[in-house]
A and B are shown apart, each in its own frame.
Chain A
Amino acid sequence: MSDAPSSPRPIDLIALITAARRSGEISKLVEAVPYASFLGISVVRIDGELLGHLRFGDHLIGNPLLPALHGGVIGALLESTAIFQLMWETEAIVLPKTITLTVDYLRSGRPVDTFARGILTRQGRRVANVRVEAWQEDRSRPIAVASAHFLIETPETPEDR
């Protein structure tokens, strides 16, 4: 990365979030996250659902013998999808901060595209809980599931405890 700038390009994240919410196009927001581009993660909307999509690439391999995706890559897809879902569903005005992320690996990830879907299980004033599932060709055979807690900042929600 010799040609990379020495500091990140300044970006007005709040403006980006607001614009994404207004236009219904979260992909602009995702494209602004360097790590998502590095892995090949994008967001797709299929039948009204927001799905994280990890395009397969050779740099994602953790076990070249099988071959299988790197566990950390699957974890990153799950975490990113949870964050996108949160940004989409809540009135978050800053990027949610991950507090804990627990990933259960159910099957090895094959060298193909992977999808993930996050469900916001609870949103409080400061903390949100999201469950995420990742699969490849067959949605009924998840390769990993995760549960995560996030610190969020939303405009005042007085009914919350």
Chain B
Amino acid sequence: MTEDLPGRVEQLSDLNRRFEQVVPHNRALGLRLLALDDARATFLLPYDLRLVGNPETGVLHGGAISAAMDAACGTAVFQALPRPMIIATLDLRIDYHKPATPGRDVTFRCHCYKVTRSVAFVRGVAYHDDEADPIASGTGSFMLGTRARARAPGTEP
């Protein structure tokens, strides 16, 4: 995060484009990458009526929050790895603290605080304005270096 700011911005938007293209569900959610740092990732989930869980109030569905948290945590893991490798979510726990305010975007900020040979550990928080007043927080672990065998359609893994 030092030198060459324009280069960094270019790199970021390139990553963002790739991220959106490569992961169809992130594109479907409308997730936008806001910032990448060492072992950290920040995303924005724009409010979208399709993601509403309670049609009476317009509050976002918990599933949309956890899907975005999963994506943001995975990206934080990538930022923490010494070299690119395939990762897979092992587990993810989401604590819901308060409903997201209808009509408002949600920011996700995740930090991969520990990487071992096989597993990475991540924490994340979802909020509107203030990280100290969270909507939800997440804790996850990811397996590192999982096999990426492409599967032919209809075959058993």
Residues on A lying within 8 angstroms of B by beta carbon are 1, 4-5, 7-13, 32-39, 58-67, 69-73, 75-77, 79-80, 95, 97-105, 107-108, 110-111
Select A11's contact among B55, B62, B69, B150, beta carbons within 8 Å. Answer: B55
Which residue of chain B has the shortest Cβ distance to A67 in the bound complex? B151
Q: How far is the CA of A10 from the CA of B54 in the complex (A)?
A: 10
Given A72-B63, A72-B66, the answer on whether A103 and B51 have CB atoms closer than 8 Å is no
B55-78 interface with A by 8 A CB criterion: 55-58, 60-64, 66-71, 74
Query: Does B94 touch A at the CB level, under 8 Å?
Result: yes
Interface range for B: 35 or more
* CB–CB B58/A7 < 8 A: yes
Interface of A is mostly: mixed
Q: 6 smallest A-B Cβ distances: which pairs?
A: A72-B67, A76-B63, A35-B61, A70-B25, A59-B28, A8-B58
The smallest C-beta distance from B9 to any residue of chain A, in angstroms, reads: 26
B87-113 interface with A by 8 A CB criterion: 88-96, 99, 102-103
**9 CB < 8 A contacts A-B:** A34-B49, A38-B51, A60-B24, A66-B151, A71-B92, A72-B25, A72-B63, A103-B89, A104-B90
Residues of B within 8 A of A10 (CB): 56
Given A35-B64, A70-B25, the answer on whether A105 and B94 have CB atoms closer than 8 Å is no
Which residue of chain A has the shortest Cβ distance to B23 in the bound complex? A62
Residues of B within 8 A of A61 (CB): 23-25
Residues of A within 8 A of B92 (CB): 71, 75, 102-103, 105
Residues on B lying within 8 angstroms of A by beta carbon are 22-29, 48-58, 60-64, 66-71, 74, 88-96, 99, 102-103, 148-151, 153, 157
* CB–CB A101/B53 < 8 A: no
Interface of B is mostly: mixed
Which residue of chain A has the shortest Cβ distance to B97 in the bound complex? A99
Residues of A within 8 A of B27 (CB): 59
Select A8's contact among B49, B63, B95, B157, beta carbons within 8 Å. Answer: B49
Residues of B within 8 A of A12 (CB): 56
* CB–CB A8/B89 < 8 A: no
* CB–CB A70/B66 < 8 A: no
* CB–CB B66/A101 < 8 A: yes
* CB–CB B67/A75 < 8 A: yes
Residues of B within 8 A of A65 (CB): 148, 150
* CB–CB A70/B151 < 8 A: no
Select B62's contact among A13, A71, A101, A111, beta carbons within 8 Å. Answer: A101
Residues of B within 8 A of A76 (CB): 61-64, 66-67
